[in-house]
Amino acid sequence: MIDLLVAPFLEFAFMQRALLGAVMLSISSCPVGVFLMLRRMSLAGDAMAHAILPGAAIGFLLYGLAIIPMTIGGLIAGVVVALGAGAVSRFTLQKEDASLAAFYLISLALGVMIVSLRGSSVDLMHVLFGTVLALNDEALTLIGAICGITLVTLTILWRGLVAECLDPLFLRSVSRIGTVVHFAFLALVVLNLVGGFQALGTLLSVGLMMLPAAAARFWTTRVGPMCFLAVAIGLASSLSGLLLSYHAALPSGPAIVLSAGAAYLLSILFGTRGIMAVRSRHRHKAA
């Protein structure tokens, strides 16, 4: 068991870096995913994950696979798409989900085209699916900084975030912090997607954010325990995904997300609010 579970992380530095990066991403992005889910904005997170691709691709086109230019480009693109979708929904008849879908499809196609102008198919795969096994000190520093910013912001705005999940209109009617909380939260979403992009790419970064959060929803209804449980599921998914990738010679990013997907499916079946529990309660009521 030691050779199976521990030896890869003791023998190889790239596995240690990958685990450290995945742990920080889980601690940072899983609570954000919980609030996205409770706000019924899960698909908005997916749209924002694709929205950062053109900015990251422009950074790649100008500077290659340099982390800082790609990160800055991704942040700018994410903010532009978020503001653009919000403006369209505010000043036209189109709803925000439709405008986000339109912007994300345009962003995805534009980003892939920009990467293809200079890079090879290998570079395109790196941008789309990430390289968690190739994280360097610069990438780990960036992910660590995003993790720290996220935890501090969540601590400061916790009550406002919970209140906005329950009734955003009430929060804005009784407090001036409603708008601040909303935009601060959107900034956290973009930041964590940019951090996840370094390890899992634009197509999979939202997976580690949303799947543990969705799985945790089947075990508890309280926001605090749900966030902690989502982080625990994210950590377990990261560890099991990296081990699966190592022993079965599979791509590491998809292995991590599939591990989180397995946790989600198990939660659907066996969670305290899952299928089996609901059926058991119905049987007791019928009896």
Q: Give the integer Cα–Cα distance in Å for 227 and 26.
A: 11
- Grouping H, G, I as helix, E, B as strand and the rest as coil, residue 135 is coil
Residue 183 CA: distances (Å) to CA of 79, 146, 195, 232: 10, 16, 18, 27
Report whether pLDDT(124) > 70.
Answer: no
Residue range 195-210, pLDDT digits in tens: 888 788 776 788 899 9
User: 43: exposed, middle or buried (C-beta count within 10 Å: 0-12, 13-18, 19+)?
Assistant: middle
Report whether pLDDT(136) > 90.
Answer: no
Residue range 1-48, pLDDT digits in tens: 677 788 888 888 889 999 999 999 999 999 999 998 888 877 777 777
Q: Give the integer Cα–Cα distance in Å for 155 and 136.
A: 29
Return the residue matching tokens 């530095």. Answer: 13
